[in-house]
Structure 1
Amino acid sequence: MNDVKLVLQEQLNNIGIIRRISKYEEKATYQSHYLGLVWQFLNPAIQIGIYYLVFGLGVNQGKSVDGVPFIIWMLIGITAWFFISSSILGASNSIYKQVGMVSKMKFPVSILPSVNISSNFVSYRSMMLLLLIAMFLGGVTPSLYWLQYFYYFICMIAFLFSFGILNSTITVLIRDYHIMLQSIIRLLFYLSGPIWNIEAMGQFAGKDLILRIIQLNPIYYVIEGFRDTFLSRQWFWERGSQTIFFWLVIVILLILGSHLHMKFRARFVDFI
């Protein structure tokens, strides 16, 4: 637990550095493009259009889901998914990409996954604005359930950080891990429910078992939590067993990731 305490303390003590580096990375990524940071919004918007044509008008045939238009239902899930997937992959590669710079400067390596997560907030805020406009136009009105958005947002950040500190360490030790993680993310796209209603799958042998396994997916928990919030379906404590399992996974990931990070970070440069 001392490793966890030290890693968390390093995040709190270096919040200013995290913000400054993340802003620099945002500008550096798109500085050679004519539209600059507009691509952080334009790129996901194009993907959303494609997904809506394929899954909304094609597979779902324009039918509503949970009493709202498919585009709104999908936007709630896809907004969270874009932020989660980009943060997982970015955090995984964060130490490997920047460890040379860190070795010459005085700040802890453990903040690099947080830097990457922070740099993705610009795109996330733009997508959230688009989602709010779509819900307003679609007749989705605010309710008390919207207050639990903050809970699920904390859940999302806790998962991304705990998983990021683990992934970033393993990526330095085993370079092939990042490539494998990219494939896993592609699979999770279809197993986390951002674009199709998993609970409405047709009946087949073993469906209930498969559904229960999918519901243990932390990303599924977060995405469905945001839908529970914005569509006023239920409170997070009504997902009792899923909530307990989610936080158990977070604790395990954080302990394991912090331990591996502290054990090997003095030799990161040697591994690279």
Structure 2
Amino acid sequence: MSNVSIIIKEQLKNARFIFSMARYEEKATYQNHYLGLLWQILNPLMQIGIYYLIFGLGIRGGRSINGVPYILWMLIGLIPWLYINSSLLGASKSIYRQVDLASKMKFPVSILPTINLVSNLTIFLPMGAVVLFFLIQSHFYPTIYWLQLIYYFFCMVVFLYSVSLLNATITTLVRDYQLILQSAVRILFYVSGTIWDFETKGIPEIIIKVLRLNPFYYIINGFRDSLIFQRGFWENGTITLIFWLTTFVFLILGSQIHLKFRAKFMDIN
């Protein structure tokens, strides 16, 4: 736990620098594009359109899920996933890409995944606001359960950082790991309940129980429970406990491996 404490203190101590670097990273990514930061909205909108055409109109024929229009059901799951996807892949490359910068500016490399997570919020937050607008337009009005969005957002960020610290460390040591991670993320997209409801597909109950243990399913389903199905996180006590145990295991493992090898990052790079 001492390693975890060191990592957390580094994040808190460098909080102002993290947000400053995140803003710089946002601008640098799109500075050579004519539409600039507007692409942060256009890219997810195009992906949403493609997924809706294929899965909503093509495969499902526009049918709703539990009385909820598919487009709303999909949006609530897809917006968090787009953030998860970009953060998982971006943060995993953050250390080996910027370790030289860290050595020159004298800040701990453990904050590099955090910078990536904060930078990606410029996509997640405005798209989240769009989802809330469409929900209200569709007569899904705010309730006390909407406050759970804070909880599930916290779950998402903490879990992503825990996994990203481990991924970023391993990727720096073994570059091939990035390719393995990319394939794993593609699979996770389909088993996290992002665009299809595996609980209504006639899948054996034992398989559904296993799929529910997926931390990303817990997060995505949590957003849906809060916004449209009016279910509290305490109603899934066992899965909630498993989620946080999994998160802490990743955080402990990632912190230990990161602190053990980060002195060698410059030599490896």
How many percent identity over aligned positions? 53
Residue of structure 2 equivalent to 1:212: 209
TM-score normalised by the chain length of structure 1: 0.97
**Alignment partner, residue 221 of structure 1:** 218
User: Which amino acid in structure 2 is aligned with residue 216 of structure 1?
Assistant: L
CA positional deviation for 1:233:
3.0
**Cα distance in 1 between the residues matched to 2:221 and 2:153:** 12
Q: What are the equivalent positions in structure 2 for 1:9-88 lying under 5 Å apart?
A: 9-88=9-88
Q: In the TM superposition, what are the counterparts of 1:143-154 in structure 2 within 5 Å?
A: 143-154=143-154
> For the residues of structure 2 that align with 1:44 and 1:187, how far apart are their CA atoms?
19
Q: Which amino acid aligns with 1:179?
A: L
Moved over 4 A (4+): none
SS in 2 for 1:139: coil
Superposed CA offset, 1:108-149 (max 9, x none): 100000000000011011211210121122121111111111
Aligned pairs (5 A) from 1:1-272: 1-203=1-203, 207-272=204-269
Report the more deviating stretch, 16-25 or 231-240.
231-240
Q: CA RMSD in A?
A: 0.8
Equivalent residues of 1:68, 1:138 under 8 A apart: no
Q: Which amino acid aligns with 2:153?
A: F
In 2: Cα distance, 1:143 partner to 1:58 partner:
33
What's the CA shift for 1:263? 0.4
The one-letter amino acid of 1:104's match is K
Identify unmatched segments of 5+ residues in structure 2: none
Q: C-alpha distance in 2, partners of 1:63/1:141?
A: 22
Q: Is the 8 A contact 1:99 1:268 kept in 2?
A: yes
1:271 Cα offset (Å): 1.4
TM-score, normalization: structure 2?
Answer: 0.98
1:125 and 1:233 map into 2 onto residues whose CA distance is: 22
Deviation for aligned residue 1:232? 3.4
Aligned residues: 269
Q: CA deviation at 1:106?
A: 1.2
